[in-house]
Structure 1
Amino acid sequence: MANLASTYSNQGRWVEAEKLFVQVMETRKTKLGADHPNTLSSMANLASTLWNQGRWEEAEVLQAKALELCSKKLGQRHPDTLIGMNNLAFIWKDMGRHEDALGLLQTCFDLRQQVLGVDHPYTVSTLSTLEAWRKENEQSVV
């Protein structure tokens, strides 16, 4: 089910993806527990699907909850936690919370640098995004 939901998501079939991601998340909550890594992954996938539909407030609530649980369960420096942090920063940026997004992405970058190393693709990508967002912010202030 999760793979099919991901396929729908990759195809931009958001309504179908959302429906399946909800089922997967609820089933995993019941069978594995609310803080199981697979359940948290399902929550993040659903949040991403909501984000892709422009439903930023709903995505924010779900992603923030997934991030909180992931941080408690796996630790703030775990790669899955860092992915959640990155995703929440993108949601905040789309919501117009530019300073919050920049701050969270900076934290994510700092941790990725420590955990994954400076040459890891996620670290490099985060730095690139951080620099682009800073540049956008500077241009909007002028």
Structure 2
Amino acid sequence: MANLASTCGQLGRYQEAELLGATVLEKRKTFFGADHPDTLCAMANLASTYSQRGRYQEAVLLEATVLEKRKALLGPDHLHTLFAMANLASTYSQLGRYQEAVLLEATVLEKRKALLGADHPHTLLAMANLASTYNQLGRYQEAELLGATVMEKRKTFFGADHPDTLHAMANLASTYSQLGKYQEAVLLEAIVLEKQKTVLGADHPDTLHTMANLAVTYSQLGRYEKAKPLEATVLEKRKTLLGANHPDTLAALENLVTTYHKLGKHQEAKEL
């Protein structure tokens, strides 16, 4: 049942994943007890599903519980504890609690470097997460340095077309945009979008995220006619995949409304 929940989550079938995940958690609590490693794994998985559905407050409560219990059971340096810490940091970021996130992410990065080495995929993921939070805090130069490092190391380790490499490329493009380097950003984002369509599929959340970012960069360059069809596509696909009230869907709606106004299409904007 846990494996099926995980597969549903990977396919974007988050409602089914949540129902299965909640069932697994309750049954493991009954069978193993609340502090058993398998119960904590189920709790972490359900929290991840909550995050995928935009239910970050529920996710953060579960993740904080998992982290504290793993610290007590496994110790602060255990890899499973560090996974819990990274997950909690990610949810803090989703809630805009970036100062709390950055402290956890810096800790995860240093501990993974010591335990796994600087080039290990999990270390690079920690580096990427920290770079993303630096972006949110306006620390763009630090974000650019970390992001470029992650991209190059992932190219070497995984290859240029691997989803993790493409994710790093997309993140670096976002940092370029924050630094006003829109031409560099648009080149990277266009490459990432085409590769993600091929590797992940046109409806994958990461593909849609890149499409949304490319549209925003086009808007920054004043290329609103290029931005509009991308934003319309993102909006419709997110409505189908996530629902009309998901934060990512609402962000897509806001972007499209803004672009319509920039193009002088005020009536179309009102109709949205």
Aligned residues: 140
Cα displacement (A) at 1:135: 2.2
Alignment partners' CA distance in 2, 1:112 and 1:8: 27
- 1:128 counterpart = 2:128: no
Cα displacement (A) at 1:139: 7.0
| RMSD of Structure 2 on Structure 1 (CA) | 1.7
Cα displacement (A) at 1:105: 0.5
- 1:75 counterpart = 2:201: yes
SS of match in other structure, 2:245: coil
- 1:91 counterpart = 2:217: yes
Counterpart in the other structure of 2:263 = 137
- 1:51 counterpart = 2:177: yes
Is there any run of 5+ residues in structure 1 with no aligned partner, and where? none
TM-score (ref. length: structure 1): 0.90
Alignment partners' CA distance in 2, 1:4 and 1:119: 28
Which has the larger displacement, 57-66 or 121-130? 121-130
Alignment partners' CA distance in 2, 1:129 and 1:3: 25
Letter in 1 for 2:149: Q
Deviations 1:27-63 (A, max 9, x none): 0111112122211111111000000011100000011
Deviations 1:51-83 (A, max 9, x none): 001110000001111111111110000011000
Letter in 1 for 2:158: L
Alignment partners' CA distance in 2, 1:23 and 1:112: 31
Identity %: 47
- 1:61 counterpart = 2:190: no
Alignment partners' CA distance in 1, 2:176 and 2:248: 23
- 1:116 counterpart = 2:242: yes
Alignment partners' CA distance in 2, 1:62 and 1:132: 24
TM-score (ref. length: structure 2): 0.49
Cα displacement (A) at 1:92: 0.1
SS of match in other structure, 1:138: coil
Counterpart in the other structure of 1:19 = 145
Of 137, 160, 166, the match for 1:34: 160
Is there any run of 5+ residues in structure 2 with no aligned partner, and where? 1-126, 267-272
Alignment partners' CA distance in 2, 1:36 and 1:122: 24
